[in-house]
Homo-oligomer: A and B are copies of this chain.
Amino acid sequence: MSYKAPVKDMMFAMGELAGIDRLSALPGFEDATSDTAQAVLDEAARLTEGVLAPLNAVGDKQPSTWQDGAVTASPGFKDAFRQFAQGGWQGLQHPSEYGGQNLPKLLATPCLEMLNASNLSLALCPLLTDGAIEALLTAGSDAQKATYVPRLISGEWTGTMNLTEPQAGSDLALVRTRAEWQGDGTYRLFGTKIFITWGEHDMADNIVHLVLARTPDAPEGVKGISLFIVPKFLVGDDGTLGARNDVHCVSIEHKLGIKASPTAVLQFGDHGGAIGYLVGEANRGLEYMFIMMNAARFGVGMQGIAVSDRAYQKAVEYAKERVQSRPVDGSAKQPVTIIRHPDVRRMLMTMRALTEGARGLAYVAAAHADLGHHPDEAERAAHQAIYEFLVPIVKGWSTEMSLEVTSLGVQVHGGMGFIEETGAAQYYRDARILPIYEGTTAIQANDLVGRKTLRDDGAVAARLLTEIDRTLAELHAHPSFHASGAFQSMHRHLHAGRDALQKSVRFVVDHAKREPNAVFAGSVPYLMLAGIVLSGWQLARSLIIAVDKRDDDASFYDTKIATAHGYATQVLPRAVALEAAVTAGLCADGVPALHEDQF
Contact of A577 among B337, B445, B484, B573 (CB under 8 A): B573
Q: How many residues from A make CB contacts under 8 Å with B? A: 109
Contacts of A335 in B (CB 8 A): 171, 173-174
Say how far A426's CB is from chain B's closest CB, in angstroms: 9
Main DSSP-derived SS at the A contact region: helix
- Can you list 18 residue pairs at the A/B interface with Cβ under 8 Å? A169-B416, A256-B419, A342-B517, A342-B520, A342-B521, A343-B442, A344-B442, A345-B586, A346-B591, A349-B591, A403-B407, A407-B432, A418-B432, A558-B589, A569-B586, A570-B586, A573-B580, A574-B577
| B587-A562 in contact (CB<8A) | no
Interface residues of A in 67-120 (CB under 8 A from B): none
- Given contacts A346-B586, A486-B590, A565-B586, 7 further A-B pairs with CB under 8 A are A171-B335, A174-B324, A562-B598, A569-B580, A573-B580, A574-B577, A577-B577
For A556-599 the 0/1 string (1 means CB < 8 A from B) is: 00110110011011100111111111001011111111111111
Q: Does A340 contact B (CB under 8 A)?
A: yes
| A591-B562 in contact (CB<8A) | yes
Q: Does A417 contact B (CB under 8 A)?
A: yes
Contacts of A590 in B (CB 8 A): 485-486, 562, 565-566, 569
Interface residues of A in 331-349 (CB under 8 A from B): 335, 337, 339-346, 348-349
Contacts of A432 in B (CB 8 A): 407, 410, 417-418, 425, 428
| B420-A324 in contact (CB<8A) | no
With A170-B414, A329-B517, A580-B573 known as contacts, the answer to whether A420 contacts B256 (CB < 8 A) is yes
| A565-B592 in contact (CB<8A) | no
> Which stretch, A39-47, A364-372, A433-441, A534-542, touches the partner chain B?
A433-441
Q: Does A468 contact B (CB under 8 A)?
A: no
Interfacial residues, chain A to chain B (CB-CB below 8 A) = 164, 167, 169-171, 173-174, 194-195, 253-257, 316, 319-320, 323-325, 328-330, 335, 337, 339-346, 348-349, 352, 403, 407, 410-411, 414-421, 425, 428-429, 432-433, 435-437, 440-442, 445-446, 484-486, 489, 493, 516-518, 520-525, 555, 558-559, 561-562, 565-566, 568-570, 573-581, 584, 586-599
Contacts of A410 in B (CB 8 A): 256, 432, 436
| A599-B414 in contact (CB<8A) | no
